[in-house]
Chains A and B, each alone.
Chain A
Amino acid sequence: MLERSIVRTDFLPYARLPELRAVLEGRYRVVWQEAARAPGNAACRRRAPASRWKARALHIPSGADFFRPCARKWPSFPWATPAAPVAHQAPPRTDKPLALVNLRPCDLAALRILDDVFLSGDVVDPFYQARRQSTLIVSVDCVTPAPTCFCHLVGGAPFTDAGMGLHLSPLATGYRVHADSDAGERMITELALAPPELREEEELPARRQAAMEALAAANQRFTLTRSPYTTVAERAASDRWQDLFAGCVECGACCRVCPTCYCFYLFDELTGGGQEARCRRCRTWDSCITADYARMAGPPNAKPNPRPRLRTRFANRFDHKYRFHYETSGEYACVGCGRCAEVCMARSDPREVLRVLEQ
């Protein structure tokens, strides 16, 4: 398992935030997720490096992007002379491990879904596993919601007590710091933090309540009377979908930015020829919205893919996130981060889709 229950709680005054930063940067390659969602956390506001983002200008990347990089190419192996052993990984990097800082509760929820996909089956993804285990995740409770946030509608909250490394909860004069891993605990020890005082802890419920209320107020237009599961399951064959996907141009941006989307496509690159031929297996991320997703060979009268019509592909995305995943795991495969609504060219917003379906 990658996580364990809280091992330690301490208090970090805002004035000592630069020390945390220094300690982190001493041990890790630190990536600071941009903190536009939390005005007030000025010390964390710093632009992330421009590389590696999938759609960098458009949204705040989720931590998921680091564990499922856009494309992975495994080392090539000789094809014509297969006596040579097949290498599965490039030599390990010797530089510092990665620390992702300023992830939000929704990002953590998304990582738990990815963990479930890549780590819980009979066969785990060893590459995902290696990266997850070596990365320190520093997460922060949300204070002010972004206009597209709706984690409370899908069973989440803008705060959490279950971090994945270090979790910071903003209080009046500093952060309450939870260490959820050995690496996180080392950070706290190194900083020699003191446990929070009682009055500091006492203000946490009120702050969290305020964050929840701010989120509810921002979503007033999308008040749902039924659960997303009930709505989507009941409207599976509804005509209402017809209007909802009308603007979709199948760009696939919603899947690209979604922190819980994990579909991928495997293909090969062949280099050289004859006895020198080498084959390289590659993986690239895929979108279930596009017409060539899961395209299959077959006789002329066979369907070219399982869902030839855009209506069913569009509905399937919602079915998967709000219905099928809920049926199998009891949780939505949507964490309410709102990134898809931010990037959609047709301004399709999942909250609006759920609202229209509910009517």
Chain B
Amino acid sequence: MITFNPYAPRLCKLVEVKTETPTIKTFVLEMPEPFHFRAGQFIELTLPGAGEAPFTPSSSPLEHDRLETTVIRTGSMTDRLHEVEPGAWLGVRGPFGKGYPIEKYRGKEILVVGGGCGLAPLRSLIYQLLSESYRYRRISIKYGAREPDELLYRDSYATWTAERPNVDFTCTVDAGAPGWTGRVGLVTTLLSGLDLSLPDTVAFVCGPEVMLKFVTLTLLKEGLSAEQIYLSMNRRMSCGIGQCGRCSIGPYYLCKDGPDMNYAAIQQYENVF
């Protein structure tokens, strides 16, 4: 008798919905049993009747009884998800994927580059890095959003850098707004003239595909090699266990080998971005 169905979701109660920006909400789930994941791993979230889609937890990997995931409203499933109220039951499968290989880079300088809703998966990486920030020489976080209203987790930026001299955070918006005194420009403008020791740097990048493309090109131009760039290719996965074939890039399946891929591994294949 089959007792485990890898395609069927576990039911989890939605306990809180936080409105982050006009188009982005964070959904807080209470896990029925302790949930362990690595930063960068993803889950498949089911809303009954609306479908299943891959999302990356945005909460700390050190927290096991609650799971947060931050979702931008951008398609039929996320449209319906944004209407859901606390108390509803959602389905979760996972975690899937490898997660960020941060252990490999202890003692190095970490560059975290986020674009728009791409800061969500990076937040769980940031939490992980901050919990052991003494292991890294530098943690530099660069973030860009379309406009000031679209900046995610605005209340957290100060706490990330407080009392951690090796951590810095810079953000920019594509278009300013009345009252905005910060930087205006694409996220790539934060990447020229980096004050990092480039041979010792590794970059973790997450954002829309067009942003991934131009951040990669900029980082390569700045002197990073392809091996030093990890890209989050977070949109394509379905089964999560390397069977359905939907998330292939060359010989890799993002759900098994990613979703964060070293650019050196995938750059030779068509349709990476």
Contact yes or no, B48 A277, CB < 8 A: yes
Chain B interface residue number, banded: 35 or more
Cα-based distance from A125 to B256 in the complex (angstroms): 15
Residue total for A at the interface (Cβ-Cβ under 8 A): 56
Chain B residues within an 8 Å CB radius of A301 = 210
Segment at the interface with A among B69-77, B102-110, B191-199: B69-77
Smallest CB-CB separation from A273: which chain B residue? Answer: B49
Interface code A21-61, partner B: CB below 8 Å = 1, 0 otherwise? 00000000000000000000000000000000000000000
Contact yes or no, A307 B4, CB < 8 A: no
Contact yes or no, B243 A118, CB < 8 A: yes
Contact yes or no, B2 A121, CB < 8 A: no
Give residues of chain A (248-288) contacting chain B, Cβ–Cβ below 8 Å. 262-268, 270, 277, 279, 281, 283, 286, 288
Does A332 belong to the interface (CB within 8 Å)? Answer: no
Partner of A92, one of B1, B4, B48, B74: B1
Partner of A307, one of B46, B208, B243, B271: B271
Cα-based distance from A307 to B235 in the complex (angstroms): 13
Given the known inter-chain contacts A82-B11, A125-B6, A268-B52, please indicate yes or no for A294 contacting B208, CB distance below 8 A: no
Chain A residues within an 8 Å CB radius of B247 = 294
Smallest CB-CB separation from A121: which chain B residue? Answer: B242
Given the known inter-chain contacts A82-B11, A312-B270, please indicate yes or no for A268 contacting B49, CB distance below 8 A: yes
Does A320 belong to the interface (CB within 8 Å)? Answer: yes
Contact yes or no, A74 B7, CB < 8 A: yes
Chain A residues within an 8 Å CB radius of B8 = 74, 77, 86, 88, 281
Smallest CB-CB separation from A86: which chain B residue? Answer: B8
A251 to chain B, nearest CB (A): 18
Does B89 belong to the interface (CB within 8 Å)? Answer: yes
Chain A residues within an 8 Å CB radius of B11 = 79, 82, 86
Does A325 belong to the interface (CB within 8 Å)? Answer: yes
Partner of A297, one of B77, B243, B271: B77
Contact yes or no, B236 A288, CB < 8 A: no
Contact yes or no, B246 A74, CB < 8 A: no
For the residues of B in contact with A, the DSSP-based class is: loop
Cα-based distance from A118 to B250 in the complex (angstroms): 19
Contact yes or no, B76 A266, CB < 8 A: no
Cα-based distance from A152 to B113 in the complex (angstroms): 50
Does B129 belong to the interface (CB within 8 Å)? Answer: no
B247 to chain A, nearest CB (A): 7
Contact yes or no, A236 B270, CB < 8 A: yes
Contact yes or no, A265 B244, CB < 8 A: yes
For the residues of A in contact with B, the DSSP-based class is: loop
Cα-based distance from A94 to B1 in the complex (angstroms): 13
Give residues of chain A (62-82) contacting chain B, Cβ–Cβ below 8 Å. 74, 77, 79-80, 82
Smallest CB-CB separation from B238: which chain A residue? Answer: A266
Does B219 belong to the interface (CB within 8 Å)? Answer: no
Cα-based distance from A265 to B239 in the complex (angstroms): 8
Contact yes or no, A297 B75, CB < 8 A: yes
Contact yes or no, B89 A267, CB < 8 A: no
Interface code B3-31, partner A: CB below 8 Å = 1, 0 otherwise? 11111110100000000000000000000
B2 to chain A, nearest CB (A): 4
Smallest CB-CB separation from A236: which chain B residue? Answer: B270
B134 to chain A, nearest CB (A): 33
Interface code B185-208, partner A: CB below 8 Å = 1, 0 otherwise? 000000000000000000000001
Given the known inter-chain contacts A264-B239, A266-B239, A312-B270, please indicate yes or no for A303 contacting B245, CB distance below 8 A: no
Cα-based distance from A282 to B41 in the complex (angstroms): 24
Chain A residues within an 8 Å CB radius of B7 = 74, 266, 281, 283
Partner of B246, one of A263, A283, A323, A327: A263
Smallest CB-CB separation from B96: which chain A residue? Answer: A123
Partner of B5, one of A126, A264, A265, A307: A126
Does B130 belong to the interface (CB within 8 Å)? Answer: no
B16 to chain A, nearest CB (A): 18
Smallest CB-CB separation from A89: which chain B residue? Answer: B2
Chain B residues within an 8 Å CB radius of A303 = 209
Interface code A185-220, partner B: CB below 8 Å = 1, 0 otherwise? 000000000000000000000000000000000000
Residues on B lying within 8 angstroms of A by beta carbon are: 1-9, 11, 46, 48-49, 51-53, 74-78, 89, 91, 208-210, 235-236, 238-239, 241-251, 256, 270-271
Going nearest first, the 3 A-B pairs with the smallest beta carbon separation are A297-B75, A263-B245, A270-B49
Residues on A lying within 8 angstroms of B by beta carbon are: 74, 77, 79-80, 82, 86, 88-89, 92, 117-118, 121-127, 130, 236-237, 262-268, 270, 277, 279, 281, 283, 286, 288, 293-294, 296-299, 301-303, 306-307, 312, 315-316, 319-320, 323-325, 327-328
